Amino acid sequence: MAKLMVLTVLGLGLALFRDQRSSYQKRMNAFLEIKPVELSSCNFIKGIETGSEDLEILRNGLAFISSGLKYPGIKSFEPDKPGKLLLMNLNKEDPTALELRIIGSTFDLPSFNPHGVSTFTDEDNTVYLLVVNHPNYKTTIEVFKFQEDDKSLLHLKTIRHKLLPNVNDIVAVGPEHFYATNDHYFVNNYLRSWELYLGIAWSHVVYYSPDKVQVVAEGFDFANGINISPDGRYVYIAELLAHKIHVYEKHANWTLTPLKSLEFDTLVDNISVDPVTGDLWVGCHPNGMKIFFYDEENPPASEVLQIQDILTENPKIKVVYADNGTTLQGSTVASVYKGKLLIGTVFHKALYCKL
Ligand SMILES: *[C@@H]1O[C@H](CO)[C@@H](O)[C@H](O)[C@H]1NC(C)=O
Ligand SMILES: *[C@@H]1O[C@H](CO)[C@@H](O)[C@H](O)[C@H]1NC(C)=O
Ligand SMILES: *[C@@H]1O[C@H](CO)[C@@H](O)[C@H](O)[C@H]1NC(C)=O
């Protein structure tokens, strides 16, 4: 009898483990084959070899890029060097990336580990760059003022808050106001891999302003990219491991209510929004296993989706670029400027293509 019980319990355990494993493999999209989709003319950006994990393009064609992320469990080609912020002028014929000088005595450069970036331009055309930073694997939000004349960033402020424990990405709605995704899995230099495996939807979205900080959406299986519609009425959130993009309505009091969700067959990472058309451009990981377990013989693929008319009943979704990792490894973000597409990656290069 006892033996039978042990066997039953063992059997149940194994069945649960099998279910858990198959759900994990599904969340990671572990076995997807890539059908390549090429673009006509693509060049690598000179000066980007160790990641271009997030980027934002201003309406005037200046692009800000974060490079050199160190994130537990994810490959880095320069693990001992601090990260940096790069600037590109996309109006130039063959644009190159230039490192922005950071000034201000309040900022610790050696521990700089930039992650998501977002800009806010005020009425006087002052550009603020808000950067998710992980100094010593903690989370802070750094606020910089962009000084175009000498291509520098003046450090204004470091924001820390208990509701911002492990921020992945932000979208700025003011010089010190933003929505942030907490991904939950990255704490103190380790990836909570068991929790990642179990897939409890821990992750959430926080609204931050100097006078009020509040959770505005929760229950995500790894909330990742976040962005806002050009009219400021909708917030888009990428749920990486559920392969979904959620559309939320934003209210005057900054709370969000869910409107709709779109489902994909790929891990959706960063979302950028075309300021003119409102289209979403999404950097994706077709196979999540390859991004979390790097193997140079079998590198992670890259994929870019364009989503048009997201608010209508029939959004149009197009795979604009797909590569099995031979050319570009681990794309996370893509953004357009004047008929060209700039694609960033977690730890690899950046590709600039004609559409
Ligand atoms: C871009 O992708 C990285 C890699 O997963 C992610 O951690 C980061 O938050 C993303 N940034 C944006 C703007 O979504
Ligand atoms: C915020 O505004 C929305 C829409 O007007 C409303 O439904 C909600 O109750 C408000 N929330 C708070 C906390 O004031
Ligand atoms: C990736 O695709 C290229 C052709 O586009 C092919 O030569 C290569 O073998 C593929 N690599 C893998 C790992 O599938």
CA quadruple 35, 94, 355, 50: dihedral, nearest 10: 40
Residue 168 counted as an annotated binding residue = yes
Asked whether 324 lines ligand 3 (CB < 6 A), one says yes
Distance CA 196, CA 224 (A): 14
Does the annotation mark 285 as catalytic?
Answer: no
For the stretch 97-118, pLDDT in tens is 899 999 987 899 898 988 888 9
- 3-state SS, residue 159: strand
Tell me which residue has tokens 């601090």: 82
Least trusted range by pLDDT, from 219-233, 296-310, 332-346:
219-233
> Using 50, 70 and 90 to split pLDDT, how confident is the model at 42?
very high
Distance CA(203)–CA(27), nearest Å, equals: 15
**What pLDDT is attached to residue 68?**
73
The answer on pLDDT for 12 being more than 70 is no
Return the residue whose CA atom lies nearest to atom 1 of ligand 3: 324
User: What does the pLDDT look like over 151-176, one tens digit per residue?
Assistant: 999 999 999 998 888 787 889 999 99
What is the whole-number distance in angstroms between the Cα of residue 224 and the centre of ligand 1?
Answer: 6
Contact 150, 101 (CB under 8 A): yes
pLDDT digits 0-9 by tens, 241-287: 778 899 999 999 999 999 999 998 888 888 999 998 999 999 988 77
How confident is the model over 187-206, as a mean pLDDT?
Answer: 60
Paired sense of beta strands 101-103 and 152-159, if any: parallel
Ligand-binding site membership of 53 (annotated): yes
pLDDT higher than 90, residue 136:
no
Contact at 8 Å (CB) between 306 and 318?
yes
Give the residue, out of 53, 118, 220, 335, with the most ligand 1 atoms within 8 A of its beta carbon, to mutate for a pocket test: 53
Atom of ligand 1 nearest to the CA of 181: 9
Q: Find which of 43-52, 199-208, 264-273, 344-353 is predicted with most confidence, using mean pLDDT.
A: 264-273
Residue 80 reports pLDDT greater than 60: yes
- Residue carrying structure tokens 């880095």: 76
Give the full edge-to-edge strand order of the sheet including 302-308.
Answer: 267-273, 280-285, 302-308, 316-323
Q: Decide: 342 and 90 in contact? Cβ < 8 Å.
A: yes
**What whole-number distance in Å separates Cα of residue 251 and Cα of residue 163?**
20
**Cα-only R_g, the chain:** 20
DSSP 303-325: EEEEEE-TTSSS-EEEEEEEE-S
Predicted TM-score of the model (pTM): 0.83
DSSP result, 6-56? HHHHHHHHHHHHHHHHHHHHHHTTTTPPP--B--SSEEEPTT--S---EEE
Residues 6 or more apart whose Cβ sits within 8 Å of residue 108:
135
Give the C-alpha separation, 249 to 281, whole Å.
19
Closest-CA residue, ligand 2 atom 12, reads 253
Average pLDDT, the chain: 83
* C-beta of residue 39 within 8 angstroms of C-beta of residue 355: yes
d(CA 118, CA 113): 15
- pLDDT-wise least confident of 15-29, 51-65, 153-167: 15-29
**3-state secondary structure (DSSP) of residue 136:** helix
CA atoms within 13 A on the CB side of 197: 9
Report strand pairing: 280-285 vs 302-308.
antiparallel
Query: Is the confidence at residue 126, as pLDDT, over 80?
Result: yes
Cβ–ligand 2 distance for 254 under 6 Å, the answer: no
CATH code assigned to 25-354:
2.120.10.30
Q: What is the pLDDT of residue 278?
A: 95
Looking at mean pLDDT, say which of 11-15, 17-21, 84-88, 194-198 comes out highest. 84-88
Q: Which of 215, 234, 255, 257 to mutate to test the pocket of ligand 2 (most atoms within 8 A of CB)?
A: 255
